[in-house]
Structure 1
């Protein structure tokens, strides 16, 4: 993006267009001259670069706004040398010593430098070189690009600068491939832009609220939108329309891929290393949620939600309890933007929307205090509120499954039935099966993971009663194993027996029945 006073546009009949620089010999020539100028000035003071650039600008017939824009774009590619000593501290010392008496002659001046360098413990040469090093630093490095890349970058910057004045940006994508579209929407979320998306035939349409549509954080939002624009250029078949506010008048701006390709080719600096997460908030939530012991699987960037023409690309999906609950994290927002999001919840009831209060772009306003599945937060997404919403879905699913079991459960004919078998047969969760069996099944005892006939439990109990006070724990489990192939410890506990441990050696243990426990167990 460029300073607004360097933006060159052409206006006609309510329309506005940036005056893009064509890739001509003249433009490539001035671009090459400026690039060479920066290369020559490595190791020189910044003031030397400015002096030479001023001479080049005065001798060129090209619009000064173009030349200064090229200079600014290249200026961002230089690295200045860090002063070896703090210039502010040096000046403070020099001015303090100079204040003791008037400086009349060159000798007086040199004396001040000598006394200052002695007090600072550095040489007089180092003092002079670093005294104003923060205002006129040395150029240490310059990362050059080719002339046509510089012209392309200039044209992209013109587009970004114009769109900084946008009220609304409308983008249309003709039959886009899924991967580029997903990457584009990921960039939208990364920069926290306010957008809406819908489908119309084979086209995907996007509207993005422009910087001048927000009343707060205008510059921050505008910079975010400018940084998003290069991502759009990676998607084939794009076109855009926008309303531009310029000098208190609204102009219409249109641009398509085919037209812009004449002025722009992709440059290396437009590539951004894609982070693993769209934001620190998203990463923090992902790591914290996965550290909890829940039965929900958290999936990042699931597929789109589509209903009629409305499309939503959520950030997360919670998978569990035969449900898929989605979550979207909102970046910048206004009252109108949030109201539209809330309205979409009617179409997608299993969507959670998390809104960052610190990115509000409109004045304070009141929304209903209780909004289903809408969470306002500062800094970090509150895990407790997410878990409370998920618990409601868990309860809903449990009620549904319990009704299903109530309507379809048949008393078993086998003396032993596992919870896993019932889950598989009835297509319900373990939680639902266990909740149902804990209510009691006539003629059976539920031990935790097994449903065992009371007759079989009585038979095992009688065997163990005869061994009470005599057999070891290992022997008791062997007896149970003659009747039940697994979960012997569970049966032992359910029958009301306990173990007296006389040492850590299992052979030195003795089983006994807990007092008055048999009748209670058998009546349950």
Structure 2
């Protein structure tokens, strides 16, 4: 549900006023009332709730979100429906069909399939097609609060705008590494093709090709973009612009519209249902931050860092050390052991050409086995054993800054 004005698409959003909250509560209560019942029974109740209402699409949207995100549907009973059908069909083939024969076949099949719990013919009749979607039963329901359902509905409307996108451009500004890393993790998880460029002063631009440019109009890539949006919401400062193909199947669409735009920012108030990333990726980083805070150093340790675009990837440093003069250096902690990770990490560090990155490497890593030699980082290399001493890192930072840092 959306509107278009001057080529700019705006999805419908529900405000948290009394009527919308009551409607959300009604849909939630309807699901709760159908616990243990078939999906078909639930759908009949939903149709009754929709009847005569102008906002029936809102009800359907809320129900879809609850059915796919908060409800569990399963085939009921102690016997697998496929086994029930096999036995019933086997017995039925031995006798000509008749109105009364059905009950006899079900009784015989119930006797044959009964275990510790005695099955009746009626039980078996319910189990016969219990694995079909409309016959599955609502076995569990973890309801959100009505305001949460409204937030999820609004986000789903925004996600729907990306289904027909053929380009997506995100400008992300300085953020915590964990949030950047979650963002990049989701681009890989959903198979999105992304290029990163830019700098801290003007923002980092993540460009993704959309479904219509890549796959001739399929929404598969658009669905991946839609799933990616909740991860973007955890990044604190960003702008998004998507270019969409107009819906030519809609009668009210201007035939002259060749493209629409969908714009979104971190200030628009959408709420993610994805789990937020941890502040630190590891106990190693957390411990370093805690120990640094106890030093009383004039340097400032910042969690908010820049993306470092490099050919073939991007680096997200773990920390920034800022001198009182305003100059700074970046800190990258390499404590993960997988050979593929180590090779990729050092390859990107070299490609970046950045001379302001302190590289901290655990002596426990088998770099020789991974085919990695970090010696070319020279004085910017810090080796550590169990924990990373902040004083060692500060010493390197001060040498990099020269006499200004020492002062």
TM-score (norm 1): 0.50
Q: CA deviation at 1:226?
A: 2.1
The 3-state SS of whatever aligns with 1:69 is helix
Give the deviation of 1:119 after TM superposition.
3.6
**CA deviation string 1:91-116 (max 9, x = no partner):** 232233334444433x3222121222
Match of 2:131 among 120, 131, 134: 134
1:192: how far off? 3.8
Query: Are the aligned partners of 2:81 and 2:128 in contact in 1 as well (CA < 8 Å)?
Result: yes
Q: Specify which structure has the bigger relative contact order, considering alpha-carbon pairs within 8 angstroms and separated by 6 or more residues.
A: 2
Which residues of 2 match residues 337-486 of structure 1 at below 5 A? Answer: 387=371
Summarize the alignment of residues 158-197 of structure 1 with structure 2, pairs less than 5 Å apart: 158-197=157-196
Which position in structure 2 is the counterpart of 1:235? Answer: 235
Measure, in 2, the Cα distance between the counterparts of 1:165 and 1:213: 10
Q: Is the 1:185–1:313 contact (alpha carbons within 8 Å) kept by the matching residues of 2? A: no
1:37-436 equivalences in 2 (<5 Å): 37-62=30-55, 64-76=56-68, 77-83=70-76, 84-105=78-99, 107-121=100-114, 123-124=119-120, 125-135=122-132, 136-200=135-199, 201-215=201-215, 220-247=220-247, 249-258=258-267, 260-261=268-269, 264-266=270-272, 269-271=273-275, 305=308, 312-313=314-315, 316-318=341-343, 324-326=346-348, 387=371
What's the offset of the Cα at 1:59?
4.4
Where in structure 1 are there 5+ consecutive unaligned residues? 1-7, 278-301, 329-344, 350-385, 398-524
> How big is the shift at 1:310?
11
Which of 1 and 2 has greater Rg? 1
Aligned partner of 1:27 in structure 2 is 20
Q: Return the alpha-carbon distance in structure 1 between the equivalents of residues 27 and 223 of structure 2.
A: 26
Inter-CA distance 165–327: structure 2 relative to 1 (3 Å threshold): farther
Alpha-carbon offset, residue 174 of structure 1: 4.1
Matched residues, number:
301
SS in structure 2 of the partner of residue 16 of structure 1 = strand
Q: CA RMSD in A?
A: 4.0
Residues 324 and 49 of structure 1: is their aligned pair in 2 closer, same or farther, counting only changes over 3 Å?
closer
CA deviation vs aligned residue, 1:134-166 (integer Å, no higher than 9, x gap): 121221110000111111101111111211211
Q: What are structure 2's unaligned runs of at least 5 residues?
A: 249-257, 282-304, 317-339, 355-369, 377-407
Structure 1 residue matching 2:245: 3-state secondary structure: strand
**Residues in 1 aligned to 2:203 and 2:114: alpha-carbon distance in whole angstroms:** 70
Aligned equivalents of 2:98, 2:161: Cα separation in 1: 54
Q: 1:29: Cα distance to partner? A: 1.3
> For residues 255-293 of structure 1, what are the alpha-carbon distances to aligned partners after superposition, in whole Å with 9 as ceiling and x for unaligned?
2233x21xx344xx422688x99xxxxxxxxxxxxxxxx
Post-superposition shift, 1:244? 0.7
SS state at 1:242 partner: strand
SS at match of 2:259: strand
- Comparing 108-117 with 92-101, greater Cα deviation is found at 92-101
- Counterpart CA distance in 2 for 1:265 and 1:166 is 21
Q: Deviations over 1:163-201 (max 9, x none)?
A: 121111111234444543343334334434211222252
User: Distance in 1 between the 2:128 and 2:177 partners?
Assistant: 57
Query: Closer, same or farther in 2 for the Cα pair 1:221/1:272, shift >3 Å?
Result: farther
Q: C-alpha separation between the residues in 2 aligned to 1:202 and 1:223?
A: 29
SS at match of 1:235: coil
- Please give the alpha-carbon distance, in whole angstroms, between the structure 2 residues aligned to 1:222 and 1:148: 27
| SS at structure 2 position matched to 1:246 | coil
TM-score by length of 2: 0.63
